[in-house]
Amino acid sequence: MNVSLYLSSKTWVHRLDGRTKVLTVLGVFVLALCFSHPLYLLGVFGFVMGGLAISRAGANVRKAWMLTALLFCYSVALWPFFVEGLTPVPLLNRLGVTQEGVMVGMGMGLRLLIMLWGGIWLLSTTTVEELAQASQQLGLPSRAGFAFSLAFRWVGMLLGAGVGVVQAQRSRGLDVSTGGLLQRIRKYVPLVVPLIGHALRQTNLLAMALESKGFHPSSRRHFCSTGQLMLPDYAVICVMVVLVGVSGWLRWIGVGVLDIRF
Amino acid sequence: MHLPQAACDSRRWWADLADVWRDTRLIVLTAQIAAIYAAILIPFKAGIPIIPGFVELRPANAIPIVASLLFGPAAAWGAGIGNVIGDCFGTLGPASVFGFVGNFFFGYLPYVLWGHLGWLSSGQPPLVKSWRQMVEYGVVCVIASAACAGIIGWGVEWLGLLPFVILAPAIFFNNIVMGMFLGPPLLGFLYPRVQLWRLRYEDIRQSGSSSFQPSSPPRTHDSLFKDVTSENLSYSILDCRGLSFQYASDSKPVLRNVSFSLAPGEMVVLLGRSGSGKSTLCYACNGLIPHLVPGVFSGTMRVCGRDTVEDPVWKQAGRVGLVFQDFDTQLVATTVEGELLHPLEYRDPPLSSEEMQQRVVHALSRIGLEDCTYRDPMTMSGGQRQRLVMASVLVQEPPLLVLDEPGSDLDPAGRAQLREVLQNLREEGITVLMTEHDDGQLAHADRVLVLDQGEIVWKGKPETFMRHPQLMRDWGLRPLALTECFEGLSVGRLPISVQEAWTRADALNLILNPPASVLDDTLRLGEMPACLRKMALPLIHVEGASFQYEDQLVLEEVSFAIQPGDFLALLGRNGSGKSTLARLLNGLLMPTHGRIVVDGLDTSATSMNELAKRIGLVFQNPDHQIFADTVWEEVAFSAKNMGCSEHEIAVRVQEALAAVGLPCEGSHDLDPFSLRKGERQRIAVASVLATRPTVLIFDEPTTGLDTDETNRMMAMIRELNQQGHTIVMITHSMRLVATYARRCLLLHGGRMIADGTPREIFADTALIRAASLEIPDISLFSQRWGHTLLTVEEVKASLLPGPP
């Protein structure tokens, strides 16, 4: 079962070095945190959506738009109740909802969207192996990166096994959709135990398999890919540095920032 | 009194976190916990949203607490990484950092706190059996849940995404509900098993500290490779002398004084029953035994002149390539190229990028996967994945390749491709040692060794071995059908190929003239069950059923009927739609077009419970369903789900256990996880029988079983058929089809291309080849006389003296 969001394509974004893509997304997160005004955040959101478009990540956009739209609505609906303001909203005045609160809700909703779509853009254009290599090159411990990529690889296998477990137990009459809360929770035991048992039974074998292929925790990994940054990488990093710098300066002088009081 | 977790030295808690990254098994465990957490997080939802879209009651939230109490710091890292992986399905962002930290503490605090809560501590293992354990567990659960909720809630509010007062209580509620209600039963089931497999954190630490120490300092891959090319290679690649080994958990040795050697370029097949020590011997070839498997080891195993105990396992990858029976465990990357680069990237000293690329290209061309460089291994067939694993060990260019039962999980097409690859490797001069429990690769080997109860009991030429059926029977192996046909006749050397069999028949002036009892199947199958003789109405009607998964049409316009008491074999290569059809029959899947009627009920309009009373599906892997503490509870599970009374359950369990030949006595105390695969498969069958279904579907019931176990399993299935159960069996074994099936359906590319008796199907050579299957040798032999015979007994009854 394939669980990765990665979309194989030959765009120039895909060809960028993994470090460039990770740094770009981190830059986008910083841009989102610099502003709280919806108009400025809308600009950053447009930048991210443009990135998704040139990366041909439409398939993932179609997959995730419903979830992200729901989260945006939550933010817009919830924040106004926690923010003080001076301009009441007609009809909702009794609930303490003000126009400033609505602005904050929209801003925070957009910030959430930018962060989620930024993450989806990274995962759509970067393989798990590239992410592991980039994280090692950016200074994260290589063994943690390896455990991450290994786990990612096994999620697919476990999801496949999970389908088998669910089918086997349903065939024996297990129905998790009926009963009260406690009953329903207890019914998950026959589903979760075989899945965990299936995985743990293989622990020793997996460790043996890794060492048989030459892996050892003490050995350093030397990636085949030379990891040299190319001209497009430097160009993208420069653009992001400028954007982050300008946004930081705008925030410093108070542009694009709402005055939020709780 | 047993205190299972951290010692009193608090500094060790922090040291433990670092220790996880110094032990391969703990790294594997970390990745497994992360994968389990993410895999349960994604599909298993209790369907009760707390904040719809944000927080939903999910069983996965019990995993960090349970894993923490079993695996200590590995659970902390695993829970953190697992949460990030869960975010990678659409919610990755800065909040994932807080998700990581929150879940890290959720998976670490229980380990740290258990046994260190002063007067609240129970001083007992982390189970919830006494009230003191319950109190301690409750406190641990509350603190860990609160810490996780607090960290994530604060972080998400700091990012301005959602207010703390909304998110933190929701996360806390989710964690506490799942931790309190699902955690204790999970611990109760998992703790004894984890103890049995010696996977608790303290077990791994202990075994890690006492692992086998090499007698000389480890060397680099390059210096090891020099041994291979040196002159000591001329006498043998592998030299095993007086090797004995006893697993730490066993009471008797699994290998006893084994001695043999392999010459360069030789291909040797190691045969033997399950449990004879074949896999253990494979593990000894690259030092997994004794380095990673605890036990008593004596004797020597030298590969390329170097004793395997002298270097750690990972440094022997340049000398020995080992492919496991469960080859999927050796796949670590998400692309074929990544899979092959992975072992090269860990070499010491490192290789240049150019050399790595060259080796990848060369290895892929050796095993015929040149066109798959960027494919995801999980989208490939079983045969392709196995060849990929072979490439991933060959990329290190070892002179010795060891394969543990390479043919056991492959369909006939996969086995044919394997034979071709092995032949190519042999021509390149690679030495191959492989284990088998049947005659699959015997004809192509230079030598055969037979292992029984840990000792080599026979060695010699494969041809000699194959020409002596009694010898094969003596060591638990199935003789070649053709040799059995001529056994007892004065033919000199018994034939081992169809051509030889024809020559022997001519020499003896024998012809094949089958009697009526052969042609009407009474010799092969016995008398037809009464229900079939009466030509009862069909039990199952499949009318133009199609099934589409996403964009892929898996099954197309399939129509057939099954009579009561029938024994139907579903045939076809991997991916032909057999398993999908089986799941459509028992209502697990619904046809996207057409309909399926079982005992008068349309599966689309009938509940699973109702269908389960009529059709039982026995899955290929019994471990996908076994979960209970005892055999009795496991078998009783389905009857309980049917709402049977206690008395009725007891009656059904006794009946089911008797039907599969398992004793009822002791089943209340026997842990199903402690049994062998063949016995676990029987428990799975018994559990399905407890619903008293009319139809039983078996999905590859003999995969991974040796000859004796296969015979026992098939005898049981035949017995169930004779008792009146209708049998549908998916199998790749044409021998089983020829011996047991009354009727066959042949699927190819999702379409049904034939429906008939095995005799009719095997008579059509072109049809069988089009479906990438193999015709049994006996059928090929008999077709010379215009008949298609299926079993040894049929041939023996039909061989008659010809005209003078």
pLDDT over threshold 90, residue B549: no
pLDDT confidence of residue B231: 39
Q: Which residues contact A44 (CB under 8 A, 6 or more apart)?
A: A28, A31, A32, A35, A110, A114
pLDDT in tens, B612-630: 889 999 998 888 888 888 9
pLDDT over threshold 80, residue A81: yes
Q: Which residue has the tokens 């060369």?
A: B362
Mean pLDDT of chain B: 86
d(CA B637, CA B659): 17
Please judge whether A216 and B82 are an interchain contact, meaning their C-beta atoms are less than 8 angstroms apart. Answer: no
Residue B120 near chain A (CB below 8 Å): no
Please judge whether A203 and B317 are an interchain contact, meaning their C-beta atoms are less than 8 angstroms apart. Answer: no
Q: Give the mutation candidate from B17, B22, B26, B27 for the A interface (greatest A CB count, under 10 A).
A: B27
pLDDT confidence of residue B408: 74
Average pLDDT, stretch B685-714? 88
pLDDT in tens, B218-276: 444 444 444 444 334 456 899 999 999 999 888 899 999 999 999 999 999 999 988 89
Please judge whether A210 and B24 are an interchain contact, meaning their C-beta atoms are less than 8 angstroms apart. Answer: yes
Percent of chain B with pLDDT over 90: 47
Cβ contacts of B185 on chain A, cutoff 8 Å: 186, 189
Please judge whether A153 and B333 are an interchain contact, meaning their C-beta atoms are less than 8 angstroms apart. Answer: yes
Please give the distance of CA B499 from its chain centroid, rounded to a whole number.
Answer: 36
Q: How distant is the Cα of B635 from the closest Cα of chain A, in angstroms?
A: 10
Q: What is the dihedral of CA B624, B625, B626, B627, to 10 degrees?
A: 100
pLDDT confidence of residue B230: 39
Confidence at B1, pLDDT banded by 50, 70, 90: very low
d(CA B262, CA B320): 13
Is the distance from CB of A41 to CB of A110 less than 8 angstroms? yes
Among the residue ranges B410-424, B629-643, B780-794, the one predicted with the least confidence is: B410-424
pLDDT in tens, B454-490: 999 999 999 999 999 999 999 888 899 999 999 988 7
pLDDT confidence of residue B226: 43
Q: Which residues contact B38 (CB under 8 A, 6 or more apart)?
A: A151, A155, B82, B83, B85, B86
Q: How many residues does chain B have?
A: 804
Name which of A159, A181, A217 is nearest B23 (Cβ-Cβ). Answer: A217
Domain boundaries, chain B: 10-209, 226-466, 469-497
Among the residue ranges A62-76, B344-358, B772-786, the one predicted with the least confidence is: A62-76
β-pair partners for B298:
B244
Cβ contacts of A150 on chain B, cutoff 8 Å: 27-28, 31, 35, 332
pLDDT over threshold 50, residue B359: yes
Cβ contacts of A195 on chain B, cutoff 8 Å: 36, 39-40
* DSSP tally for chain A: helices H, then strands E: 11, 0
pLDDT confidence of residue B535: 55
For the record, the structure tokens of B208 come out as: 């890690």
pLDDT confidence of residue A220: 80
Query: For the whole model, what pTM was predicted?
Result: 0.85
Please judge whether B24 and A217 are an interchain contact, meaning their C-beta atoms are less than 8 angstroms apart. Answer: yes
Q: How distant is the Cα of A235 from the closest Cα of chain B, in angstroms?
A: 24
Topology (CATH level 3) of domain B10-209 = Arp2/3 complex 21 kDa subunit ARPC3 (1.10.1760)
Helix (H) or strand (E) holding B726: strand B726-730
Angle CA A155–B364–A129, to nearest 5: 35
Average pLDDT, stretch B134-143? 96
Q: How distant is the Cα of B714 from the closest Cα of chain A, in angstroms?
A: 21
Q: Give the mutation candidate from A196, A201, A219, A258 for the B interface (greatest B CB count, under 10 A).
A: A196
Please judge whether A82 and B163 are an interchain contact, meaning their C-beta atoms are less than 8 angstroms apart. Answer: yes
pLDDT confidence of residue B221: 43
pLDDT confidence of residue B439: 67
DSSP-derived secondary structure for B600-668 = TEEGGGS-HHHHHTTEEEE-S-GGGT---SSHHHHHHHHHHHTT--HHHHHHHHHHHHHHTT--STTTT
Residue B361 near chain A (CB below 8 Å): no
Residue B22 near chain A (CB below 8 Å): yes
Among the residue ranges A159-163, A175-179, B44-48, B537-541, the one predicted with the least confidence is: B44-48
Is the distance from CB of B316 to CB of B288 less than 8 angstroms? no
β-pair partners for B552:
B549
pLDDT over threshold 50, residue A176: yes
Among the residue ranges B287-301, B406-420, B523-537, B714-728, the one predicted with the least confidence is: B523-537
pLDDT confidence of residue B56: 62
Is the distance from CB of B237 to CB of B262 less than 8 angstroms? yes
d(CA B497, CA B158): 76
Average pLDDT, stretch A152-164? 85
Around Cβ B247, how many Cβ atoms within 10 Å?
A: 16
d(CA B542, CA B756): 16
Mean pLDDT of chain A: 87
Confidence at B183, pLDDT banded by 50, 70, 90: very high
Confidence at A174, pLDDT banded by 50, 70, 90: confident
Nearest to B103 by CA among B121, B123, B77, B129: B77
Q: How distant is the Cα of A232 from the closest Cα of chain B, in angstroms?
A: 22
Confidence at B440, pLDDT banded by 50, 70, 90: low
Average pLDDT, stretch A104-132? 89
Name which of B48, B91, B348 is nearest A181 (Cβ-Cβ). Answer: B48
d(CA A172, CA B691): 8
Please judge whether B30 and A215 are an interchain contact, meaning their C-beta atoms are less than 8 angstroms apart. Answer: no
Measured between CA atoms, the residue of chain B closest to residue A112 is: B161
CATH class of the region B226-466: alpha beta
DSSP-derived pairing of the beta strands B593-598 and B601-602 = antiparallel
Task: Judge if the upstream peptide bond of residue B349 is cis by omega within 30 degrees of 0.
Answer: yes
pLDDT confidence of residue B791: 93
Q: Where are the beta strands (DSSP E) in B204-341?
A: 238-247, 255-262, 267-271, 295-303, 306-307, 320-323
Q: How distant is the Cα of B772 from the closest Cα of chain A, in angstroms?
A: 25
Q: Residue B577: left (phi > 0), alpha (psi -120 to 50), or beta?
A: left
Average pLDDT, stretch B94-100? 92
Confidence at A4, pLDDT banded by 50, 70, 90: confident
